[in-house]
Amino acid sequence: MRAIRVGIIGAGRIGRLHAENLVRRIPGAEAVAVADVVEEAARGLAEGLGIPNAFGEPSPILGDPSIDAVLICSSTDTHARFIEQAAQAGKHIFCEKPIALDLEEIDRALAAVERAGVILQVGFNRRFDPSFAEARRLVQSGAIGKPHVLRITSRDPAPPPIDYIKVSGGIFLDMTIHDFDMARFLMGEEVVEVFASGTVLVDPKIGEVGDVDTAVVTLRFSSGALGVIDNSRRATYGYDQRVEVFGERGMVRVENPKPHQAVLSSEDGDYSPPLLHFFVERYAESYVRELTDFLSCVREGKQPPVTGRDGKIPVVMGYAAKRSLEEGRPVKLSEIDPSLG
């Protein structure tokens, strides 16, 4: 079986992560080129992993007919443009979230993918976490009966730099967007309305750039079920990622994984290890699984597990949450995108 030849656009943190997984952990794929606007970063990544080609911009990758697929791991403002270019070049596409912060740009990118008939998978990696995937399976199997209430806790160990927050689109489009996707994934149905509350309790500078660092979002699903997401930019005890789905016949929940499950008990009390402190550690396995699934879809011509539509709806939810926070009222998703009415 011929290896799928992959080019990587973006040599930053997430690009390095995917490149390392492709080279070291995922069989049946061959990373053949890296491009980054900082060419030295592309060269350094390529040399460190034995990838044969490095470029300062992506056109050599997009123009190489021997490359089957591209991973778009560049800055958010380039995603939609590179999706369109890759689709026109006939490349299958894996793109990190979000597709774009502008809904019209997202629609143009998705239209280009549809015209070209290529595969697009969006990088909502948490769907591929084994525990979250099993929680979804249990909910969808009817193990808890009809779902009534979803709870998602998502708290970062420390806020990102202010310069990043300025261009991130805000907490709902940068951080909560993962939880919006997880809500749809776990419940297996659409959200029709959101109500958001937010405040600045972690860092006043976050408020000065027009964002909040602590938020609670209430969701109403099409079935009438309810959801609650709570976010904080700083949890001093580590990276806090928990979910719970309560239903008419039971409940399924996922707690935080730890480096190990051993508990030391002594005269000083009980001791267990702290939470993992970084998303790369917490979701190490999910990053491998999402690329493995993407490559399987490329090889077999299947629809990807996270489609372009799946990539768009959490952005719509993010804008609904922003409007809700600004106006102090529930906002229907159809107010942001009438096609979701």
* Closest-CA residue to 183 (of 320, 15, 292): 320
- The pLDDT tens digits of the residues spanning 203-253 come to 999 999 999 999 999 999 999 999 999 999 999 999 999 999 999 999 999
Range 127-282+313-340: architecture per CATH: 2-Layer Sandwich (3.30)
* CA distance linking residue 115 with residue 156, whole number of Å: 39
Q: Can you give the residue ranges of every domain in the chain? A: 4-118, 127-282+313-340
- Helices 39-49 & 13-24 angle (0-180, nearest 10): 20
**pLDDT value of residue 318:** 98
pLDDT in tens, 21-61: 999 999 999 999 999 999 999 999 999 999 999 999 999 99
DSSP secondary structure letters along 238-275:
--EEEEEEEETTEEEEE----S----EEETTEEE-PPP
Query: How do residues 241-252 score in pLDDT, each as one tens digit?
Result: 999 999 999 999
Summarize the confidence of residues 299-305 as an average pLDDT. Answer: 96
pLDDT tens for residues 73-122?
999 999 999 999 999 999 999 999 999 999 999 999 999 999 999 999 99
The model carries a pTM of 0.95
Sheet of 53-55, strands arranged across? 53-55, 29-35, 4-9, 69-72, 92-96, 120-123
pLDDT over 80 at 1, yes or no: no
Is the pLDDT at 335 greater than 90, yes or no? Answer: yes
Q: How far apart are CA 226 and CA 231, in angstroms?
A: 17
Q: What residue type is 294 in one-letter code?
A: F
Instruction: Report the top-level CATH class of 4-118.
Output: alpha beta
Over the Cα atoms of the chain, what is R_g? 20
Q: Which of 132-141, 205-214, 231-240, 271-280 has the lowest average pLDDT? A: 271-280
Secondary structure element (H or E) that encloses residue 166, with its range: helix 162-167
Task: Check whether 271 has a pLDDT greater than 90.
Answer: no
